[in-house]
Each structure stands twice: as structure tokens, then as C-alpha cells.
């Protein structure tokens, strides 16, 4: 019998894709001539928000800003732990104006915001996992930022090298299942980083490339329910076998910019 998993209510910050578009190419998923259906993107995003609310999670909103088509990807805005906010400093100049918009939201909500000195893209590359922060590098966030994170939060920060440009952020290649375990796609990482993950999480759920390319690892788990891309069928089967409850949510229109469920979801811890 699979274990009975226990969900934990979460608080999420999100941004509607009112101005979502693909106007530039800063990752392999993006094509400047891509046609985007903004109404479909909005409808898919609203389905995600309903799913969160239906499962008992608190959802808050930041107002989208015209001219910032990637602002919908709220996870890149910061890492929030124990009420402390470590902000973002984007690699791509096109996204840098998002930094100020999100900083204003956090300050209005009563948070102090620490601006990083090095390139750092929030929860895109910083994933709290039990007693650690798993920290991606190789394409966006720098190793120097990992050191800043550890000094700021006082939490052991484990650097992981990403090597496949399709998995340019850690949250495209790995997500946390609960306080003890993760799911990830090993080939997204360097050999040494794979060994680190194997030592830290020997019982991790291992995803295939097909499921990873379907944005299956850009998922959000509350410890029981896993909000996951519906095309990641193998991953969904594995989750079910382990006692988790998959909640498929299609964000395929947002995949055109290289983002999925987790990209749209900033967790406020």
C-alpha cells in the first residue's frame, strides 16, 4: 500500500499573464516569431489558480506591468524563507525591470527585501529542500549568488551545475515532493551534481527526459497533491505509485516561453 501523504497549506504569489508574449529569445524554448494566444494563456493560468484554491492554498496577486511579458513567471522574483526575502537580479536585460515591480510588492506586503549583488533568479534556481537550499547554476544564477544566499539565510546551500540548456533553471529539472524527498531528471546535471543528489536523496523519484521536456518537473507539491503538467504521463504514474495525488494542469501556452506551473508560482514561506 502507498503511504498516505499529508498536505500542508501554502501561500503563493502569482501574476496574471495579461501581457504575456514571446518578444525575445532567452532560452531554447523561445522563438521570436512564435504566435501567442493570450486569452488561452489567461484561461490556463486561471485553471491553475482555481486548482490551488480548491486544494486549500492561499493565492495572492501582483499586478502585471505592460511591456513585461515574462512577469507571469513569479517564481523568478525572489526566494522567501521564514519571512525574509532574497530578491532577484536577472541575467537577461529584458527581464530586469521586473525586479523593481516585485520588490515594491514585497515591501508593500510588509517584507524587507535583500537585493542580491550577483545574478540570481529567485526560485527558478533556489529550491528549499528539507534542511538545505538546492541552488542551480550554469545558465542563469551564479555560484557567487549561492554564497550570498547561504550567508543571508544561514541555511546550507548546495550548488548544482546544470548542463542542458533546455533545463536552464533548476526548477525545470527538479522539484521538492515533501520535506524528505525530491523528483529530478539526472541528465540535466553534471556528473558531480548527480552524485550529490544521489547521496542527499537516495529515494528520489527519477524522471525521464520525455517527462522533463513536458515540463513535468516544473511542478508544485504540497506534500500530497502534485500540480503537474498533464503530458508528463510517466511521472504522473510514478507519483501515484508513491502515494501522491497528481493534479494535472495544462499550461502549454506558457511553455512557449519556457515556463510552467512552478515558474508561475512564488511560495511565501
264 is catalytic: no
* DSSP assignment of the chain: ----------EEEEE--TT----S-SSTT--TT----HHHHHHHHHHHHHHHHHTT-EEEEE---TT-TTTT-GGGG-EEETTEEE--B-SSGGGTHHHHHHHHHHHHTT--EE--SS-B-GGGTEEEETTEEEEEESSSS-HHHHHHHHHHH---EEEEEB--GGG-SGGGTEEE-SSS-EEE-GGGB-HHHHHHHHHH-TTPEEPPHHHHHTTTTS-EE-SSEEEE-TT-HHHHHHHHHTT-EEEE---HHHHTTT--TGGG-EEB-
Q: Which of 57, 169, 225, 255 is catalytic?
A: 169
Q: Which of 57, 120, 146, 263 is catalytic?
A: 263
Catalytic residues: 169, 263
Amino acid at each position: 500500500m502507498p503511504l498516505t501523504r499529508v498536505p500542508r497549506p501554502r501561500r503563493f504569489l502569482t501574476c496574471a499573464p495579461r501581457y504575456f508574449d514571446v518578444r525575445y529569445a532567452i532560452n531554447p524554448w523561445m522563438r521570436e516569431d512564435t504566435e501567442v494566444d493570450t486569452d488561452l494563456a489567461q484561461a490556463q493560468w486561471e485553471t491553475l489558480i482555481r486548482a490551488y484554491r480548491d486544494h486549500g492554498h492561499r493565492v495572492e496577486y501582483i499586478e502585471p506591468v505592460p511591456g513585461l511579458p515574462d512577469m507571469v513567471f513569479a517564481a523568478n522574483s525572489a526566494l522567501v524563507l521564514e519571512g525574509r526575502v532574497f530578491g532577484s537580479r536577472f541575467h537577461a536585460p529584458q527581464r530586469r525591470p521586473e525586479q523593481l515591480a516585485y520588490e515594491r510588492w514585497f515591501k508593500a506586503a510588509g517584507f524587507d527585501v535583500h537585493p542580491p549583488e550577483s545574478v540570481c533568479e529567485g526560485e527558478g534556481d533556489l529550491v528549499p529542500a528539507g534542511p538545505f537550499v538546492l541552488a542551480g547554476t550554469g545558465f542563469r544564477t551564479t555560484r557567487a549568488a549561492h554564497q550570498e544566499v547561504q550567508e543571508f539565510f544561514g541555511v546550507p546551500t548546495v550548488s548544482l551545475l546544470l548542463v542542458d540548456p533546455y533545463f536552464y533553471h533548476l526548477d525545470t529539472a527538479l522539484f521538492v515532493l515533501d520535506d524528505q524527498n525530491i523528483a529530478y531528471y539526472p541528465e540535466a546535471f553534471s556528473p558531480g551534481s548527480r552524485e550529490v543528489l544521489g547521496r542527499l536523496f537516495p529515494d528520489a523519484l527519477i524522471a525521464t527526459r520525455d517527462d522533463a521536456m513536458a515540463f513535468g518537473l516544473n511542478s508544485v507539491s504540497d506534500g500530497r497533491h502534485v500540480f503537474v503538467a498533464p503530458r508528463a504521463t510517466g511521472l504522473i504514474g510514478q507519483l501515484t505509485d508513491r502515494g501522491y495525488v497528481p493534479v494535472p494542469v495544462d499550461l502549454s501556452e506558457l511553455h512557449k516561453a519556457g515556463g510552467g506551473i512552478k515558474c508561475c508560482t512564488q511560495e511565501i514561506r
